[in-house]
Amino acid sequence: MRKSFFILAAAAVLVATFALGALVGYERGPEIRKIAGVLNGQAPAGQFEEVDFNPFWKTWRLVEEKYAAPDGIDRQKMVWGAIQGALKSLGDPYTVFFPPVEKKIFESEVRGDFEGVGMEIAVKKGVLTVVAPLKGTPALRAGIKPGDKILKIGDKESADMSAEEAVGLIRGPRGTTVKLLIFSQDTDAPREVSVVRDVIQIPIIDTELKDGGVFVIKLHNFSERSPFEFRMALREFILSGSNKMIIDLRNNPGGYLEAAVDIASWFLDTGEVVVREKFKSGQERLYRSKGYAPFKNLKLAVLVNQGSASASEILAGTLKDHGKAAIIGERTFGKGSVQELIPVTAETSVKITIARWLTPGGQSFSEVGLQPDVEIKNTKEDDEKGRDAVMEKALEIL
């Protein structure tokens, strides 16, 4: 009996030691092993710097174990939020993750079939900023201007909000109202603006023959149809018999790179560089003129302001660098980066910055924008009198 007792005691000690070791091993082991039901927990193959994910999984486990409202846990949303947080840490407002709802909003915006207030917005220096209100839209009628800061949307503050999140709050059914707290550069305090949403018809181009024979092409965006519409405008220009042209890119938030290259090709010789695309590796891709260039002895001015972004900056920058036009107005917005939209799952995608745009002369306009040759802006008094001082200066120069 004594022998049996010692054997049982020894066995109990071994079991206890094993259990204690297992518990210690569990506590010291990777946090991911402590969470049930983790799919695809392994990192993808490839060359990655070693990163300790234990803090992430420990936080996840603590939420699972201690969060006071377990019915409020949506684990898939936690995954989407984690991805969004990781991309936000890059400090690049154009690199964003689209969960299912945001992906649908983005796709409808690209197609151009949406209801909202009609303005392009972006995060600039950490602040939600109006790039440009579109022609004939509720935003423009409400007095919203390029460079305005959006501090609140409804009762939600915009601090730390992505442009895509803001779009989701601002857009909505036709006839409904959204309240925006706006801070403008020419005011001392923010003001609340109520904007009634509508179906947004994105305009492309307007033309006008000014006194003195100056032909004005107002280009509102660089859409798929913009090259065709621009060609029709050039036909009007030729029939007018003028040799003086103004391309007005004010409040043009950009669009397709291909459209900017095609339009620039009317003013450049074959093979001349329109824009440079510089990648992470340092390699560059050059986009060159198709060399339509039918105009000789053309006097050309390009108008820009804070609402001129992306493809507008490409067109203005190439005409400036090649000495084809005088650039008149304000410093441009500074959206000089290239994004690629990549599917992540069937219902989600990521838009990631893959390159920077440079002018033909190698100047980056990302963040800083383009400096015009002649800097001038419409004052508040000009606006009240219905006077366009920038257009007047361009007409004077031509």
- Over 29-80, what HEC string results? CCHHHHCCCCCCCCCCCCCCCCCCCHHHHHHHHHHHHHCCCHHHCCHHHHHH
114 within some domain: yes
In this structure, are 100 and 152 located in the same domain? Answer: yes
Pick the last residue of a domain from 145, 174, 199: 199
Strands 299-304 and 284-288, by their bridges, are unpaired
Count CA atoms closer than 13 A to 310's CA, side-chain side: 21
- Beta strand extents in the chain (DSSP E only): 96-98, 115-116, 119-124, 127-133, 149-153, 156-157, 177-183, 191-196, 198-199, 205-209, 214-219, 244-248, 273-279, 284-288, 299-304, 326-329, 337-343, 349-358, 374-375
Q: What are phi and psi of 293, to 5 degrees?
A: 25, 60
Q: What are phi and psi of 284, to 5 degrees?
A: -125, 145
CB of 148 closer than 8 Å to CB of 129: yes
pLDDT above 70 coverage of the chain, percent: 86
Residue 177, classed as helix, strand or coil, is: strand
Question: Rounded to whole angstroms, how far apart are CA atoms 169 and 179?
Answer: 10
Residue 19, classed as helix, strand or coil, is: helix
Question: Rounded to whole angstroms, how far apart are CA atoms 325 and 253?
Answer: 20
Burial label for 186, CB within 10 Å (0-12, 13-18, 19+), is exposed
Stretches where the chain sits below pLDDT 70 are 1-48, 108-113
Catalytic hit among 321, 337, 349, 393:
321
In this structure, are 297 and 334 located in the same domain? Answer: yes
80 within some domain: no
In this structure, are 266 and 152 located in the same domain? Answer: no
pTM given for the model: 0.77
* pLDDT of 315: 98
CATH assignment at residue 191: 2.30.42.10
In this structure, are 18 and 60 located in the same domain? Answer: yes
83 within some domain: no
Structural domain boundaries, residue 317: 205-397
- The number of folded domains in the chain is 3
* pLDDT of 50: 77
40 within some domain: no
Residue 379 to residues 44, 136, 191, 387, Cα–Cα distance (Å)? 56, 21, 19, 9
The pLDDT tens digits of the residues spanning 195-227 come to 999 988 878 899 999 988 999 999 999 988 999
In this structure, are 323 and 385 located in the same domain? Answer: yes
The pLDDT tens digits of the residues spanning 40-59 come to 666 666 666 778 888 998 99
* pLDDT of 95: 93
299 within some domain: yes
In this structure, are 124 and 7 located in the same domain? Answer: no
* pLDDT of 32: 63
In this structure, are 188 and 252 located in the same domain? Answer: no
What letter would DSSP give residue 370? -
CB of 115 closer than 8 Å to CB of 197: yes
**Is 321 a known active-site residue?**
yes
Point out which residues pair with 341 in neighbouring strands: 351
Catalytic hit among 218, 335, 351, 393:
335
Q: Which of 344, 336, 395 is nearest to 366 (CA)?
A: 336
In this structure, are 69 and 134 located in the same domain? Answer: no
**Is 310 a known active-site residue?**
yes
Residue given tokens 């939020």 in the structure block:
81
* pLDDT of 22: 45
In this structure, are 302 and 383 located in the same domain? Answer: yes
Catalytic hit among 223, 242, 308, 310:
310
In this structure, are 212 and 156 located in the same domain? Answer: no
Residue given tokens 């053309």 in the structure block:
298
86 within some domain: no
Pick the last residue of a domain from 165, 199, 233: 199
45 within some domain: no
The length of the chain, given as a count of residues: 398
**Is 108 a known active-site residue?**
no
CATH assignment at residue 304: 3.90.226.10
In this structure, are 118 and 170 located in the same domain? Answer: yes
Pick the last residue of a domain from 171, 199, 227: 199
What letter would DSSP give residue 89? T
185 within some domain: yes
In this structure, are 238 and 322 located in the same domain? Answer: yes
Burial label for 292, CB within 10 Å (0-12, 13-18, 19+), is middle
